């Protein structure tokens, strides 16, 4: 994520070789290797290759770091609503240790961990994710 904060270089790296890094990310990183078909990946590449699209996608990370200030965050009151977190335990980017202390920020949170999924739980375990969402929303 810190690499994404640099100007221009992430766009060059991610688009190099006809977006090979992104192709590899969707082919090699999921815990369930069949989560993304070649057609799925080409649709992501098509979308990201549009003028300004890759920068817009990276700006999500750039903006998040700019607004996340630990001191400011610590002063915010805890969330007062029920919150569902669906977490892939094999996520290479977001380790399960990030769930520690969650009850201080979101005391009414419900965590559903998917043991054999990674960063893309909605693609790797769509039936389970949909059922968890339905159950949560019905409650």
In a domain, 40, yes or no: yes
Please identify, among 14, 44, 67, the residue that sits at the C-terminal boundary of a domain. 67
- Is residue 61 exposed (0-12), middle (13-18) or buried (19+ Cβ within 10 Å)? middle
Q: Given pLDDT bands bounded at 50, 70 and 90, which one contains residue 72?
A: low
- 63, 83: one domain: no
Q: How many domains does the chain have?
A: 2
d(CA 37, CA 105): 37
Model confidence over 7-34: pLDDT tens digits? 999 999 999 999 999 999 999 999 999 9
Q: Contacts for 75-79 with beta carbons within 8 Å, 24 or more apart?
A: 76/105, 78/104, 78/105, 78/106, 78/107, 79/105, 79/106, 79/107, 79/108, 79/109
Domain containing 131: what range? 78-138
Asked if residue 71 has pLDDT above 90, the reply is no
Q: Residue 95: inside a domain, yes or no?
A: yes
Average predicted confidence (pLDDT) for the chain: 92
Token pair 């915010």 in the structure block, residue: 76
pLDDT digits (tens, 9 = 90+) for 90-117: 999 889 998 998 998 899 999 999 999 9
Assess if residue 52 is contained within a domain.
yes
């Amino acid at each position: 994520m810190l690499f994404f904060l640099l100007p221009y270089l992430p766009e060059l790296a991610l688009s190099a070789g006809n977006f090979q890094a992104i192709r590899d990310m969707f082919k090699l990183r999921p815990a369930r290797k069949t989560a993304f078909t070649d057609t799925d990946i080409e649709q992501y590449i098509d979308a990201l290759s549009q003028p300004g699209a890759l920068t817009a996608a990276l700006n999500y990370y750039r903006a998040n770091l700019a607004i996340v200030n630990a001191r400011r965050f610590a002063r915010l009151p805890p969330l007062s609503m029920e919150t569902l977190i669906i977490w892939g335990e094999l996520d290479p980017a977001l380790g399960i240790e990030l769930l520690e202390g969650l009850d201080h920020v979101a005391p009414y949170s419900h965590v559903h961990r998917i043991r054999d999924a990674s960063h893309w739980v909605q693609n790797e375990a769509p039936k389970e994710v949909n059922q968890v969402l339905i159950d949560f929303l019905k409650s």
